[in-house]
A and B are shown apart, each in its own frame.
Chain A
Amino acid sequence: MSILKDAKDLLQGAVQGAMGKAVAIAPDSWMPGGEPDPLIAMRHGHVGRPHSRIDGPLKVSGSAPFAAEFPMEGMAYASLVFSPIAKGRILEIDTTSAEAAPGVLAVMTYVNAPRISPPPVFLSGAKAAGGDDLPVMQEDVVRWNGEPVAVVLAETQEQADHARSLVHIVYEARRALIDFAEAKAAGSRTAVFMGEPLHLEIGDADKALADAPVRIDSSYSTPRHNHNAIELHAVTAAWEGDTLRIHDASQLVAHTAWSIAQMFGIDEKQVVITSPFVGGGFGGKCLWQHQVLASMAAKLAGRPVRLVLSREGVYRIVGGRSPTEQRVALGADREGRLKALVHSGTTAKTASNMMAEPFIVATKSAYASETFKLDVRAVELDMLANTFMRAPGEAVGTFALESAMDELAEALGIDPIELRMRNEPEKDPTSGLPFSSRNVTEAWRAGAQRFGWDRRDLVPRMVRDGEWLVGMGCATGTYPYYRMPGGAARITITSGGHATVDIAAHEMGMGTATAQTQVAADRLGLAMDEVTFRYGDSTLPGVVLAGGSQQTASIGAAVSAAHGALVKELLKIAGNDSPLAGLKPDEVASRDGGLCKRDEPERHETYVSILGRARQASVSVEAEAPMPLETQHWSMHSHAAMFCEVRVNTVTGEPRVSRFLGSFDCGRILNPKTATSQFRGGIIMGLGLALMEETQFDERKGRVMNPSLSEYHVPVHMDVPEIDVIWTDIPDPHTPMGARGIGEIGITGTAAAVANAIYNATGRRVRDLPITLDKLL
């Protein structure tokens, strides 16, 4: 079928138009998800139960090993020297005193570094993982302020860190383009995201806006952000013969193995990446220079190398979220129905990456406007490549859009929830596709009731409590369902009836290991302790990215496919003496430790019995997930109704969030305990985004000036109120398990809910993040 052949290209955005239409109009039954996953109907299994994390005891006792915690024989410690200029050349490097310092084993610079190819940049190929495509320590050229220019290897970390300060480098600085305003003046280009231009026009939005009886037209800005996972990026790397073994902290082990193999010109099987535990990712734990430099240094020195980035180092060489300047203009009739929706603006990227912060993506399917004009432009700066950070696009885009909706509600004198309801679309307003499952109205209703929204004063500045003004605000959060190609899994069942599921997936705290064990147990008809879920190892099957909130779906589809193959294989070896004899695979389901006829559960045989009779120690199958065509056939999105109560001090302007509620519509919730944590975690990062987070980029030199957790503020315990989380739990009939991802949606809408609450409290509209007290004085 040509649909399937071209699907890969389609999903990478290379082919548009005709192909996409063919998938859109094809019958549902041709699609993955055309038939609801049987697990959706299963209501009394492990899925949906609040299991505590299976790796919990390891984590709370400090015995879960992270990347920097794998000791290796003869290991050397590395320390990096970073460039203090944004652009130019290295004229001179003097490493003599560093080399002479006690304990130093080698100093690697572009002069003596092993020759390797540049990294394949993320999105340039199925397994490309690089944050950029720049050569790694290969030449005398400097391309950003903070680029590594030397690696010092020593017997101890203290020795390496000291010798690092003894490396003398003379630079010739060139004029760099690092000032956002200057770059904009010099010209921007239409940005591209996942192969698609970030530009869309439906009807004549400018005219509709001009003609609309009510309109608002506002500008918003958001600063740079860093992920700031508490675990520092770290790697322990060793060459074992021709094989490169890397203990990494990674959210894409298979991509990393392939990409590093490309760089070193070796087979991808010769690179083994393991990452059993990751101390937070949020988009930041991908392939940056540290893994490559450690591997090069290990080769140069002939010893295993441990490289733990300093916190400053993380800021210097791991990209973050780019700044945005956005305009949202809304035109509506007097009842609030949107006539025009304009969302446009500019962001910054580099010439060496393929990632422009796509802040309009959420706007595409948010509201039923008659006309649309959506546009993201990008400028390219001489800086460290920006990258994906929790809900790239949506996190900052919804701040602008949902603030604007609040402004429009105010202009119309309509309750902001009511305004959103009046613009609820029946089908996707820009693609025209049907929604797979959209219950945002239900989320609003339940949330408003629980939060006590009816107690909110429509007029700002009405509620005072001592020195504090109190206000409430709301906003819609949204994040799409994604599933990327490449998912594959292996299931092995032993004659003892124990199943192992192998997939190169990741556990960064999302609860993957726990939730997927629940899913696998249900899918296989086993108890939780009869299933082992193995992940975090590039030698396992599948190319699975823990990103885009797609890992759950990706694993789900792969394990489901492997389960299909398992049933086939088991029926084959069950033979004619089995009660299952003669049944076709699609007539058979897993249940009670074995297989049975779907509509005749008594016709059953256990795995133990099947394998025992066949005298087989185990059976092992591997299968690939189908291409994710469902995302081209339905419009698939999660939603959240976010409610915030804020207090603003009338003396000092200090804003503090006192209550928060997220009411989610994210399909079926696999594990309420870990899901609650995911939702809250996203919301808390959203509170940081709203009130305090900013990477200070000195535009004179292109240097990050707050590379520290004391100067880059993330919320502390005292900033975090009790966060209430509820959900619709309505399964999406077209996704594996009926679930949609939940990792990113929490950060969307949150900043707008805070800003809208601050407006309600103070009458002051802040359109420029973060909303620090100086903006409220």
Chain B
Amino acid sequence: MTITVNGAAVSLPNDPRVSLLDLLREDLHLPGTKKGCNQGACGACTVLVDGERILSCLALAVQFEGRSVTTIEGLGMPGALHPLQAAFVEHDGFQCGYCTPGQICSAIGMAEEIRRGVPSHVTSDLSSETIALSRDELRERMSGNLCRCGAHNGIIDAIAETFAPKTALAEAAE
């Protein structure tokens, strides 16, 4: 019984109560993924599973056998940051930095959803194949990640700069 974390296969916990979040933080010593509520209410624990963003605090690790998890540690490290991580630094998309890994993983998952054409609550035309990448779209789609320091503007700026030019949707909106 294994799960892949940032490319390495690791064994699943014996205790099925262990959440994916606690597996990462306590057993694998990957504390980059944060615990802000353990209630599914803040998004700090967001990780990517097979490229899709989920909340690791509400995920039992055993449910993810055979799946591939990417955490913030798997995206980039100082000296070799992911472009979105670098954009967060540039746009001051954080203050305390605690919600930040979750925001970044969430945004990467979001970019893929947009590419796929997944609509959101603020998408006016559901039948459209492409999503116009407005600030409202980004704000709605990132609303599952709370930030108490109030770095919201910088976060959206960093995401817009990193992804907006690349999505087919933004081009379509032009």
Contact = CB atoms under 8 A, between A and B. Distances in A.
Q: Is A in direct contact with B (CB under 8 Å) within the complex? A: yes
Interface of A: 52-53, 55-66, 68-69, 71, 156-158, 162, 227-232, 277-282, 308, 310-311, 508-511, 673-674, 676-678, 680-685, 708-710, 714-718, 720, 722-723, 746
A60 B100 contact: yes
B113 to A, nearest CB: 15
B41 to A, nearest CB: 4
Contacts of A509: 94-97, 149
25 contacts: A53-B89, A57-B89, A60-B97, A61-B75, A61-B78, A61-B85, A62-B71, A62-B100, A63-B78, A64-B97, A65-B31, A156-B26, A231-B34, A231-B36, A231-B98, A277-B97, A278-B96, A279-B97, A677-B151, A681-B95, A708-B37, A709-B41, A717-B140, A717-B156, A718-B140
Interface of B: 15, 17-18, 22, 25-26, 29-42, 44, 71-73, 75-79, 81, 85-86, 88-90, 92, 94-101, 104, 122, 135-136, 138-140, 142-156
A158 B22 CA distance: 9
Indicate the member of B17, B96, B143 with the most A CB atoms within 10 Å: B96
Contacts of A65: 31
Nearest to B86: A60
B140 A685 contact: no
A103 to B, nearest CB: 9
Contacts of B140: 717-718
A545 B152 CA distance: 27
Nearest to A716: B143
Contacts of A715: 150, 152
A146 B143 CA distance: 31
A230 B96 contact: yes
A58 B94 CA distance: 12
Contacts of B139: 717-718, 720
B152 A280 contact: no
A722 B135 CA distance: 9
Nearest to B72: A62
Contact of B36 (A230, A676, A680, A681): A230
B26 A157 contact: yes
A710 B40 contact: yes
A60 B104 contact: yes
A716 to B, nearest CB: 4
Given A61-B78, A717-B147, 9 more contacts: A57-B89, A62-B72, A68-B35, A162-B17, A311-B41, A511-B95, A715-B150, A717-B155, A718-B140
A662 to B, nearest CB: 12
Nearest to B101: A62
Nearest to B31: A69
Nearest to A671: B92
Contacts of B99: 230
Contact of A59 (B31, B39, B41, B97): B97
A278 B148 CA distance: 13
B90 A709 contact: no
A714 B104 contact: no
A61 B103 CA distance: 11
A57 B136 CA distance: 28
B34 A279 contact: yes
Indicate the member of B22, B42, B138 with the most A CB atoms within 10 Å: B42
A66 B25 CA distance: 12
Contact of A57 (B78, B149, B151): B78
Nearest to A66: B98
A59 B94 contact: yes
B15 A279 contact: no
B153 A680 contact: yes
Contacts of A717: 138-140, 142-143, 145, 147, 152, 155-156
